[in-house]
């Protein structure tokens, strides 16, 4: 009987741990989604800024692949 009781307790403990891990994963997914959305907004802002600067500089500005790094 002792083995059966221990097995049942182990199952209950593992089920609780599984539920806790599932909740943690959901929380982490929400954090990751929020971070991705923030980064998308930042990239869009940076693209607009680059576009504005290129327009300000005129048509003869080299593309980023043509700029020499020193």
pLDDT in tens, 2-52: 899 999 999 999 999 999 999 999 999 999 999 999 999 999 999 999 999
Q: Is 63 part of any domain?
A: no
Q: Is 26 part of any domain?
A: yes
pLDDT band at 63 (very low <50, low <70, confident <90, very high): low
Domain count, the chain: 1
pLDDT of residue 32: 98
Q: Is 65 part of any domain?
A: no
pLDDT band at 58 (very low <50, low <70, confident <90, very high): confident
Residue 34 belongs to domain spanning: 2-55
C-alpha–C-alpha distance, residues 34 and 63, integer Å: 31
Q: Is 27 part of any domain?
A: yes
Q: Is 47 part of any domain?
A: yes
Higher-pLDDT residue of 7, 59: 7
């Amino acid at each position: 009987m002792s083995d059966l009781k221990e097995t049942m307790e182990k199952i209950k403990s593992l089920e609780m741990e599984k539920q806790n891990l599932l909740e943690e994963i959901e929380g982490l997914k929400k954090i990751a989604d929020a971070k991705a959305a923030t980064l998308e907004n930042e990239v869009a802002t940076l693209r607009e800024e680059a576009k504005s600067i290129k327009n300000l500089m005129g048509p003869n500005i080299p593309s980023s692949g043509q700029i020499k790094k020193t």
